[in-house]
Chain A
């Protein structure tokens, strides 16, 4: 039987065109018992290959093609665990001593790591082909002898490949002769690069991408034919009918390759306990300390839960993992870095006691099995939220330092071809013009919802492209073929794997693009599948906002806010939530959340947990939102499906909202264990398979039968589980997020100035543009001052009023478009030494400022205070910067106007700059409209009145209502409303309806547009920033919106206002 022992997957990044699963699929189809994957300079595809092969009952051999110093590649196969470890170390050494994407190995490296490795002589990229081309048959023989010396005679196979190519056949004859002379075995392989013949086109495109050329100019870089596909044993027999031993040897070699990834040899990390005590002992101590601090000494329930969890941790030998995470959290606390665990870890009382999470699972009755169970056979998943930016980086660097370069690494993130990137790269390969490339990539994925008219044909027609054109059609086919194929290896945003100093023997490591970072060759999923424990150190914008807010409060207010001890039930917060006045608040600020809040009317913390979880695809798709809200308002009775399920579903009024509830339903109704229930969740989760789901469903039914649950209720339960499991949100996760949401609401309610400054300093984040955040803060009474070079810092800051002691917020120079951070900081430094006397003084002391930067500063009024006379306007500054930006100007003018200044030429320049400002410009000041345009163009916002405010009188005459007026109008009343569009949404769950949020000077009004009306007014809705909408007012449970009947564009201002669209 033939076994393919030289195949490359798409994880060889642009050198293969099929994913490992496809290769395994084809292998299974041909009835091949085994196959080897040799990706280029790595084992990138091996976990996926191994898993797919395991499912297909195929033996997955592992290997790699490793680049030599001369440029050719050693194809190496792993025969034992030691061989695998050697291969990983060899690749790691090669990768880490050079830049990302480069590296090669020397014979000395090979000699060091050769044990357990078998070398093939390779195809056209192999050592033998290279030697034959250079030195003929004598050179080829010498090369093979050298391989024998390096790997040992018994570990070298002379490889033959047949792709119907004359040169290759000549090479084969030479190889066969060398093998005969040296008594080495021949081995037939096909040097596979793709599973199917038609994927050769993808391979050709990848070749072009790799070589930065187009197909028309790639010439002989492209494949000669489509023969590097996976061939059936029958085809290979036929090809090598004259050398049967080359086929037979594939099976012999396959039987020698004893290693698979099942035998990975990963060892769980050990936490370096200070005095050599057992890890579990140390964990128990830390947990008990924490438990007493969190729960007090007398909480029996907590003690019981903690003991249960500790027993499980001990049984699963996970103490080291918990201690490692605890250690990271401890470091963060010591360094004043805000940290909070999220995800299923929040179900654990041990995590809560150790300070990893902030949600009390005992009080909230959270299900521990969702986090950890004996049956699941995989490591628990702990995600830590950290402030995005430098703080998170400090935590990551701490882990590197603590566990060493070969002990910790980031998980990789395999970047795949998606719509836009695929379109752009393929368009380039097909030699499309840059302009056409822009159009093509712009065509991809604008709206989440696709209606019938949103066809590709239509988009292409609109863009001026003819789908009947063969090249365009080919472009489309290729785009579809490369979808989701790997492009390159990035690093995951926060996933770290730790392995007590031996990570490089488990998986090769390589440098990331970011300095100081090392990544493993596998992504997060692969690591999880291979049983490698990981910690996610995730950057969360809101964590940074919270941390910055606390710093500002500490520095400016002189107060200390402890997020862990916020008042639990602040009535002000719930009042604000009830009004859906939540712009800027974590997770509850979106239009959909705002439309739900007045109906849900949160009264306690758990209501916020529900609120966070309910506006999700799961509850929405499962049609659980309305039943929950109706039951909450007493409009329909609470139905818990079965009396036994009451304890589980009671707190969500009979509506399952959380994954934990599904698990418990299965446990109670069908007698599942915690682990079985978790298995059920996975079966119905993202990686669902029909077969697996059917099996679990049968088991579920059997369990319910046993518990005497009637068929009708069984159906209801199963429907709940199946429709919800895919998108469900863990309760613990919702609780963690709810804590952050509560904290953000608290800060916004009580420290608006600090919160707004922190929000603006951490953009981009959240749902709204900075302009909307500023207007919202102003409506809540915060005074926001414009950018001023004599006062503004790079970031937004607070200024205390001398009159009333209230805080105003000064916009930071980070909002000046095009102003470089370093220049802004230089302005601040210079200003601290001596105030600026004039624009020329500014230019003289910060000479690196570009004219365009000065022009923007002048246009937004930031230079007004130094533009000369009292009350100087923006055009005065614009007049002066033109002169200041010309080097020779000031001296000449001063020489003309004040000759006495120039008696001492040495000090002339400085004196000129200090001389009292010159008279104003001959230019007229800006009109209101011009100021608006300049503000939005220069900063993306205005701190002055909202553009709509200037037209309010006129609007009133036309019967147009302001956003705030709508609150007092009856349901069903015809209204006209107008504003600046701040968000356009067309969610996938809304059947083509479009939701608009329009802002005016009084607030935000929402409009709903039917699919038909949208089709009629597509251009107006999509392209115009100010709209007038006529329609019926809908006021249901204080959720106010206008159902549009008519949409018109409004001419309010030419200013470049922006919106947050289609998310």
Chain B
């Protein structure tokens, strides 16, 4: 019985380099953090030699001309890890997913297929290189020995049975990955190598470091015995497709998406799970970018990264691939990718399927799946940000609100009212303070022209109508968010206006147009213009 451990040293850097092979021979520093505060989180040897240290600020690293700076990429780390597992599974079905940067393969019975252990190790190195990874491979009869040797030695290490203690002896105890507390204690003791650790009396060690001490001791001696923990595909349901020819049209894309969704649904069904959310990722071809008339901020950001990402959160877990495809189609129609698609990745966020018992005396409510489909259709028509439940925002900014996701309360009818004291109180309060006058807000506000007399509006015109101010109240001044780019400073006026109707221009009979009205105007000091905010009912 033998095990091969594969360890990727400097995994974070390698994960990035794998996507940019040109970086392989240069000094690289990975930075991480929240802009504008970036700090170095990993480097390769060349960068360390150039003087880059972990924790350095990005701006400092920029002063080193020879050092390339890249942001840390967790996505690439994930795919590099998936590639590492693929490497294992390409040799044997018996693979242990030991850590992000380490896997173990059970070599039992593989000699007839691949040859000697050395040959297998060579093959592993080669295949790792083909996947863009530089690996350390260690083969040993003992699984833990293989792992620790792979972490400690570079290249290929073959540990013959019986030599475990001797071979591991030179390695620093950090390869055993002790807890911070145990490592601190060992450091205080001057125990820096596996050899020194192995030489300690195990019983006395157990009295001091507990079971962790015993385990570390066993590992240091290379006598640990444990079986391989086979890796399962786990709860990561992801399907990815790289396209030889970029896709630009929705129909062929829908065909591909449907295939991937079918596969995912089958996998989920086998595990008695359903989709709670669908994550859609497209790798875009920047060269084929379309000219856009209107783009929102979020799409601009996505374009910058040449990635199109969309998440479809479902109100209830579902597994109907046709329904899911319809929802995705609607999403894509509403916000299509702005460049041809090169890669498609769909990830399922799994959840238990819906199990619902409706009440006998409850009114029928729309089927959640159908409701979601309807909302998606509406979103396609009006845009994502214009559908949902409006919520007031705690601000002085006039008319500000946000749209929350529309989610009908399921418990509404089943919960006795007397239990919801807060809401009842709220309702009562609202009833008591019922407004005597309603206000309709124009969104967006209407541009207007206003003539002033001694600082007070006298005549106004907007939407091809003119009027005289009969009564004016104001200004009501608000300003705020001065620390943001979109600061505001507005003077509002409540104006009673008598209109001078021009029937020809309106194309309507004068009788259908109000003669008089109470409006709210405001002067925006930032853009120095007048607008009509709305009308009082």
Contacting pair B483 A471 (CB below 8 A): yes
Contacting pair A875 B60 (CB below 8 A): no
Contacting pair B207 A886 (CB below 8 A): yes
- Flag the segment in B172-180, B186-194, B330-338 that touches A: B186-194
- Flag the segment in A224-232, A360-368, A982-990, A994-1002 that touches B: A224-232
Residue in B191, B394, B485, B489 whose beta carbon sits within 8 Å of that of A923 in the complex:
B191
Name the B residues within 8 Å of A922 (CB-CB): 199-201, 204
Contacting pair A225 B477 (CB below 8 A): yes
Cβ-based interface call for A696 (8 A): no
Give bound CA distance, A435 to B35, whole Å: 12
Residue of A whose beta carbon sits closest to that of B494 = A166
Contacting pair B190 A461 (CB below 8 A): no
Given contacts A462-B59, A893-B207, contact A166 B476 (CB under 8 A): yes
Name the B residues within 8 Å of A464 (CB-CB): 36-39, 57-60
Contacting pair A433 B34 (CB below 8 A): yes
Residue in B189, B191, B200, B477 whose beta carbon sits within 8 Å of that of A164 in the complex:
B477
Contacting pair A219 B207 (CB below 8 A): no
> Chain B's nearest CB lies how many Å from the CB of A270?
55
Give bound CA distance, A883 to B203, whole Å: 11
Give bound CA distance, A436 to B199, whole Å: 46
Give bound CA distance, A922 to B479, whole Å: 73
Contacting pair A923 B33 (CB below 8 A): no
Residue in B201, B479, B485 whose beta carbon sits within 8 Å of that of A470 in the complex:
B485
Contacting pair A883 B208 (CB below 8 A): yes
> Chain A's nearest CB lies how many Å from the CB of B137?
34
Contacting pair B483 A430 (CB below 8 A): yes
Name the A residues within 8 Å of B475 (CB-CB): 164
Name the B residues within 8 Å of A179 (CB-CB): none
Contacting pair A926 B190 (CB below 8 A): yes
Name the A residues within 8 Å of B210 (CB-CB): 886
Give bound CA distance, A859 to B474, whole Å: 75
Interface string of B37-53 (1 = CB under 8 A from A): 11100000000000000
Name the B residues within 8 Å of A466 (CB-CB): 36
> Chain B's nearest CB lies how many Å from the CB of A755?
35
Give bound CA distance, A244 to B37, whole Å: 56
Name the B residues within 8 Å of A463 (CB-CB): 57, 59
Contacting pair A224 B38 (CB below 8 A): no
Given contacts A164-B491, A922-B201, contact A469 B59 (CB under 8 A): no
Name the B residues within 8 Å of A469 (CB-CB): 36
Contacting pair B396 A222 (CB below 8 A): yes
Name the B residues within 8 Å of A923 (CB-CB): 189-191
Give bound CA distance, A463 to B39, whole Å: 10
Size band of the interface chain A makes with B: 35 or more
Cβ-based interface call for B209 (8 A): yes
Give bound CA distance, A215 to B394, whole Å: 12
Name the A residues within 8 Å of B474 (CB-CB): 164
Cβ-based interface call for A472 (8 A): yes
Query: Which of B34, B36, B57, B60 is the most central at the interface, judged by chain A CB atoms within 10 Å of its CB?
Result: B36
Give bound CA distance, A893 to B204, whole Å: 9
Cβ-based interface call for A204 (8 A): yes
Name the A residues within 8 Å of B201 (CB-CB): 922
Interface string of B52-75 (1 = CB under 8 A from A): 000001111000000000000000
> Chain B's nearest CB lies how many Å from the CB of A906?
24
Contact residues of A between 190 and 235, Cβ < 8 Å to B: 200-201, 204, 215, 219-220, 222-227
Residue in A225, A430, A886 whose beta carbon sits within 8 Å of that of B479 in the complex:
A225
Query: Which of A219, A220, A464, A923 is the most central at the interface, judged by chain B CB atoms within 10 Å of its CB?
Result: A464
Give bound CA distance, A713 to B418, whole Å: 96
Residue of A whose beta carbon sits closest to that of B474 = A164
Cβ-based interface call for A326 (8 A): no
Residue of B whose beta carbon sits closest to that of A221 = B394
Name the B residues within 8 Å of A201 (CB-CB): 482-483
Contacting pair A165 B394 (CB below 8 A): no
Residue in B189, B207, B476 whose beta carbon sits within 8 Å of that of A875 in the complex:
B189
> Chain B's nearest CB lies how many Å from the CB of A215?
6
Name the A residues within 8 Å of B224 (CB-CB): none
> Chain B's nearest CB lies how many Å from the CB of A221?
9
Residue in A165, A223, A882 whose beta carbon sits within 8 Å of that of B209 in the complex:
A882
Interface string of B188-221 (1 = CB under 8 A from A): 1111000000011100100111100000000000
Contact residues of A between 136 and 171, Cβ < 8 Å to B: 163-166
Residue of A whose beta carbon sits closest to that of B56 = A464
Give bound CA distance, A859 to B396, whole Å: 60
Give bound CA distance, A435 to B34, whole Å: 10
Name the B residues within 8 Å of A892 (CB-CB): 207
Residue of B whose beta carbon sits closest to that of A432 = B37
Contacting pair A462 B57 (CB below 8 A): yes
Cβ-based interface call for A1009 (8 A): no
Residue in A227, A879, A889, A893 whose beta carbon sits within 8 Å of that of B189 in the complex:
A879
Name the B residues within 8 Å of A855 (CB-CB): 185, 188
Cβ-based interface call for A878 (8 A): yes
Give bound CA distance, A922 to B200, whole Å: 7
Residue in B207, B208, B395, B485 whose beta carbon sits within 8 Å of that of A220 in the complex:
B395
Name the A residues within 8 Å of B208 (CB-CB): 879, 882-883, 886
Cβ-based interface call for A924 (8 A): yes
Contact residues of B between 459 and 490, Cβ < 8 Å to A: 474-480, 482-483, 485, 489
Could you give 13 example pairs across A and B, Cβ below 8 Å? Answer: A165-B476, A165-B477, A201-B482, A222-B480, A430-B483, A435-B33, A436-B37, A464-B57, A464-B59, A472-B36, A879-B208, A892-B207, A923-B190
Q: What are the 10 tightest A-B residue pairs by CB atom distance, in nearest-first order?
A: A219-B394, A464-B57, A882-B208, A164-B477, A225-B477, A436-B37, A464-B59, A225-B479, A883-B207, A466-B36
